[in-house]
Amino acid sequence: MSVELAKTKDSADSLLEEQALVSRLKAGEEQAFEALVRDQTRRLLPMARRFLGSHEEARDAVQETLLAAFQSLPTFRGEARLATWIRQIGVNQCLMVLRKRRRHPEVAIEPLLPKFDEEGHREGGGGKWESTTDLLEQSEMQALVRKLIGDLPENYRSVLLLRDIEELSTEEVASILGVSRSAIKVRLHRARQALRTLLEPHMGKGSV
């Protein structure tokens, strides 16, 4: 069997298993609920910690997410994978928590965007990078990058987390945040520029 056929078969088997699980959940089977809670808690908790920066708040957000998912389960029609559907509920729950709390002042984004001289050259130099993913693969940078992301204004922080950390598509992020794809692209570009500016004092010249 070729690799492509094997992947197709695994995907089909996974979909059938999920459909069976959804049927069991809608039937109120207790073991199905327990299995879903274990699996989704393992998936959701790291994501919630990345958004909220607090284990306690992340745990509460996951509990609220699972409760909301259970309450909405009768309306689930399988148009998306179950895990994707629950993750979107989790993202919205985290965003709601972020909107409610203001534990530290946000950094204004305008002063962080690059400035250009009369000839169109960027002042202060700086190399190019397109995503935060590479930086987060460097273990010594993870805590700093996550902290600085948390200092960005909410609109930009949310887009950066969803696109670069959670690796959702532009379409998925636009749907979750209720804005256009073009707006997501603009916010992401500006958020990456702002993050680079915040990182530059912590890194060697030209490293970012």
b/e 169-198 (16+ beta carbons within 10 angstroms → b): ebebbbebbeeeeeebeebbebbbebbbbb
Residue range 110-202, CATH number? 1.10.10.10
Which residues belong to CATH 1.10.1740.10 in the chain?
Answer: 3-100
Give mean pLDDT in consecutive 10-residue pieces for the chain, a chain of 208 residues. Answer: 49 73 88 91 91 89 94 84 89 86 61 60 53 57 78 86 88 88 94 88 58
Share of the chain above pLDDT 70, in %: 71
pLDDT value for 148? 84
CA separation for the pair 81, 39 (Å, rounded) = 14
Which residues belong to CATH 1.10.10.10 in the chain?
Answer: 110-202
CA separation for the pair 115, 123 (Å, rounded) = 6
Nearest to 194 by CA among 128, 111, 106, 95: 111
pLDDT value for 199? 85
pLDDT value for 135? 57
25 phi and psi, to 5 degrees?
-65, -45
Helix segments in 27-115, DSSP class H? 30-52, 55-72, 82-100
Residue range 3-100, CATH number? 1.10.1740.10
pTM, 2 dp: 0.66
Q: By the 8 A CB rule, do 93 and 52 touch? A: no
Residues forming beta bridges with residue 179, ordered by sequence position: none
Nearest to 184 by CA among 165, 166, 148, 158: 158
pLDDT value for 118? 56
pLDDT per residue as tens digits for the range 181-206: 999 999 999 999 998 888 888 765 44
